[in-house]
């Protein structure tokens, strides 16, 4: 018997627990257009205000995954494992991590997204490579996983279509911050892609989706518990996003930096986080005996990167876009760089053309910021501190203003956050 969406909204408004049947029905009816946008908006707000428990969140996630095509990776001859980041500034980890883990012997089905606002998107970065394709057919995805061991691509419209509708709705109804809805959005696509294991990189700091440590811990625990409830081995690393990752912020700039990591020449923080996540992914796949640092040093991960790019139509030897205008900002005085606000740097890169305000906007692949000093580094007055890369010189003034307020220089000792702050596993969230 059909349920009443009004009764479901009222139940959650009053703090009641939704049943599995109610959740299954409302997600299916919304996907089919039988539940109106304003009704799902009201339900999303009720969930934001009243929350959902672990069982509700797990069921909501499963229903969203079941709204479309469910991939079956069981025919692959190696364990499957994926990674998801909650987003940040300069977060090019997927570009180096995916070929590294594949070179270690696992299959990595990496369905990725695009940037919005101050955070960058993996697909935007890779599309700075001439010829590279983000959209693959299901047959191409299976073939690349079998032949290369890795794929980084966009989810098809048939993967968790309920999430696509909900994501757009939450963005315009001030319900983005709901932890259960964030968890369901992330995990529904991972359940649909069929991975056996999943590692979450949950960012904490000024450049992250969530900035308060307790809220970040709650999201990590919810993600791990929800993944486990749906049969996916799931763990999470809480990682610092107070300052940008690495030096480069911007699409082609970040691809260049990721390749430098694969060649053993990258920034220490990017390399450290790449290896930490690789170890976590391999452990979740029963491959703890494989040393990703040794594989990285051998050059095998770099060769896997070249194969991955070529398999999706890209030329790994092609020159990447270069900005027509590069403007340098200089340190106003000497001392130690105490802070570098990730969100402000991301906003500056966005102003220069590296990001988008709306999903349909185009990005400028050559645009971005290079941070020539990181927190803890000594700086000298008059020496370069930032490079601003853009196609439009009219953007430089406002981007410069953002960067002038993005850092502090001190004469005292500087304490910096570790790259990995905490680890959350299934045993940490077990009742």
Residues annotated as catalytic are 84, 163, 170, 185, 189
CA distance 374 to 246: 8
CA distances from 65 to 152, 270, 275 (A): 19, 32, 30
Tokens of 162: 């309920």
Q: What is the CA angle 232-236-239, rounded to 5?
A: 155
CA distance 430 to 196: 19
> Quick check: 227 and 189 in contact, CB under 8 A?
no
CA distances from 88 to 79, 129, 218, 254, 343 (A): 28, 21, 18, 13, 8
Q: Which residues does 415 contact at the CB level (< 8 Å), separation at least 6?
A: none
Q: State the DSSP code for 104.
A: T
Closest to 390 measured CA to CA, from 207, 251, 221:
251
Q: State the DSSP code for 89.
A: S
Closest to 223 measured CA to CA, from 44, 95, 82:
82
CA distance 96 to 301: 8
DSSP secondary structure string for all residues of 205-273:
STTSS--SHHHHHHHHHHHHHHHHHTT-EEEEEEEE-SS-SSSEESHHHHHHHHHHHHTT-S-HHHHHH
CA distance 155 to 110: 9
């Amino acid at each position: 018997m059909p349920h009443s969406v009004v009764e479901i909204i009222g139940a959650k408004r009053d703090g009641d627990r939704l049943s599995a049947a109610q959740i299954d029905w409302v997600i299916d009816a919304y996907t089919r257009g039988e539940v109106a946008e304003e009704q799902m908006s009201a339900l999303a707000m009720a969930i934001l205000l009243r929350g959902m428990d672990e069982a509700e969140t797990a069921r909501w996630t499963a229903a969203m995954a079941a709204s479309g095509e469910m991939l079956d990776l069981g025919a692959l001859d190696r364990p499957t494992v994926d990674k998801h980041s909650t987003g940040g500034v300069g977060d090019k980890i997927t570009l180096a991590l995916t070929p590294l883990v594949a070179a270690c012997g696992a299959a990595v089905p990496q369905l990725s997204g695009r940037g919005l606002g101050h955070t960058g998107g993996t697909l935007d970065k890779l599309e700075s490579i001439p010829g590279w394709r983000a959209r693959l057919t299901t047959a191409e995805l299976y073939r690349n996983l079998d032949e290369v061991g890795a794929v980084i691509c966009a989810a098809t419209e048939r993967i968790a279509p309920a999430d696509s509708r909900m994501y757009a709705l939450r963005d315009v109804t001030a319900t983005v911050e709901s932890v259960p809805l964030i968890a369901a959005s992330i995990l529904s696509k991972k359940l649909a892609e069929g991975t056996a294991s999943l590692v979450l990189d949950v960012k904490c700091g000024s450049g992250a989706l969530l900035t308060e440590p307790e809220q970040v811990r709650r999201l990590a625990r919810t993600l791990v518990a929800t993944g486990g409830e749906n049969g996916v081995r799931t763990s999470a690393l809480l990682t610092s996003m107070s300052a940008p990752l690495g030096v480069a912020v911007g699409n082609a700039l970040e691809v260049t930096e990721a390749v430098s990591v694969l060649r053993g020449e990258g920034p220490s923080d990017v390399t450290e986080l790449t290896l930490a996540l690789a170890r976590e992914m391999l452990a979740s796949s029963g491959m703890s005996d494989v040393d990703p640092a040794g594989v990285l040093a051998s050059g095998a991960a770099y060769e896997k990167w070249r194969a991955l790019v070529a398999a999706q139509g890209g030329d790994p030897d092609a020159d990447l876009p270069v900005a027509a205008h590069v403007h340098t900002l200089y340190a106003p005085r000497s001392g130690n760089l105490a802070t570098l606000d990730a969100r402000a740097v991301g906003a500056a890169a966005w102003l220069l053309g590296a990001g988008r305000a709306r999903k349909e906007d185009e990005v400028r692949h050559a645009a971005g910021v290079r941070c020539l000093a990181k927190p803890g580094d000594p700086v000298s007055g008059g020496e370069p501190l930032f490079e601003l890369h853009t196609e439009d010189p009219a953007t430089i003034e406002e981007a410069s203003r953002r960067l002038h307020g993005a850092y502090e220089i001190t004469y005292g000792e500087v304490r910096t956050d570790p790259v990995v702050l905490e680890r959350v596993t299934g045993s940490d969230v077990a009742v």
